[in-house]
Chain A
Amino acid sequence: MAVKVIIPQPLQKLTNNLADVEANGANIKELIDDLEKNFPGLKERICDETGKIRRFINVYVNEEDVRFLKQDNTSLKDGDEVSIIPAIAGGR
Chain B
Amino acid sequence: MKLREDQIERYSRQIILPNVGGKGQEKLLAAKVLIIGAGGLGSPAALYLASAGIGTIGIVDSDKVEFNNLQRQIIHSIKDVGRPKVESAQDRINAINEDVKVTTYNLRVTSENILDIIKDYDIIVDGSDNFPTRYLVNDACVLSKKPLSHGGIFRFDGQAITIIPGESACYRCLFALPPPPGLVPSCQEAGILGAVAGVIGTIQANEVLKYILGLGNLLTGKLLVFNALDSSFRQVKVPKDPKCPVCGENPTVTKLIDYEQFCSIKRR
A contacts, CB < 8 Å to B: 6, 8-10, 19, 48-50, 54-56, 58, 60, 63-65, 67-68, 83, 85-92
> Is the beta-carbon distance between A87 and B187 smaller than 8 angstroms?
no
B96 within 8 A of A: no
> Is the beta-carbon distance between A90 and B152 smaller than 8 angstroms?
yes
CB of A43 to closest CB in B, whole Å: 14
Most buried by B among A8, A63, A88, A91: A91
Interface residue from B154, B177, B237 paired with A88 (Cβ < 8 Å): B154
Interface string of B180-205 (1 = CB under 8 A from A): 00001111101010000100000000
Given contacts A10-B184, A89-B186, A92-B37, 4 further A-B contacts (CB under 8 A): A9-B154, A55-B177, A89-B128, A91-B39
> Is the beta-carbon distance between B236 and A90 smaller than 8 angstroms?
no
Contacts of B227 in A (CB 8 A): 19
Closest to B223 in A: A85
Given contacts A63-B236, A85-B236, A55 and B192 within 8 Å (CB-CB): no
Interface residue from A60, A63, A90, A91 paired with B190 (Cβ < 8 Å): A90
B215 within 8 A of A: no
Interface residue from B41, B174, B178, B238 paired with A91 (Cβ < 8 Å): B41
Given contacts A63-B237, A88-B159, A91-B153, A56 and B178 within 8 Å (CB-CB): yes
Contacts of B176 in A (CB 8 A): 55-56
B230 within 8 A of A: yes
Contacts of A56 in B (CB 8 A): 175-179
A67 to B69, CA, bound (A): 38
Interface residue from B152, B187, B237, B267 paired with A64 (Cβ < 8 Å): B237
B24 within 8 A of A: no
> Is the beta-carbon distance between B37 and A86 smaller than 8 angstroms?
no
Closest to B69 in A: A92
Sort chain B's interface into a size bin: 35 or more
Closest to B240 in A: A68
Interface residue from A9, A55, A68 paired with B157 (Cβ < 8 Å): A9
B40 within 8 A of A: yes
> Is the beta-carbon distance between B235 and A63 smaller than 8 angstroms?
yes
Given contacts A58-B175, A90-B154, A68 and B239 within 8 Å (CB-CB): yes
CB of A46 to closest CB in B, whole Å: 12
9 nearest interchain CB pairs?
A: A92-B39, A55-B177, A88-B154, A92-B129, A90-B187, A87-B175, A91-B129, A56-B179, A48-B268
**27 pairs across A/B with beta carbons < 8 Å?**
A9-B154, A9-B156, A9-B157, A10-B155, A10-B190, A55-B176, A56-B179, A63-B237, A64-B236, A64-B237, A65-B237, A65-B239, A83-B236, A85-B225, A86-B179, A87-B131, A87-B178, A88-B154, A89-B130, A89-B134, A89-B154, A90-B154, A91-B39, A91-B126, A91-B129, A92-B73, A92-B127
CB of B6 to closest CB in A, whole Å: 34
Closest to A45 in B: B183
B147 within 8 A of A: no
> Is the beta-carbon distance between A19 and B236 smaller than 8 angstroms?
no
Contacts of A88 in B (CB 8 A): 152-154, 157, 159, 184
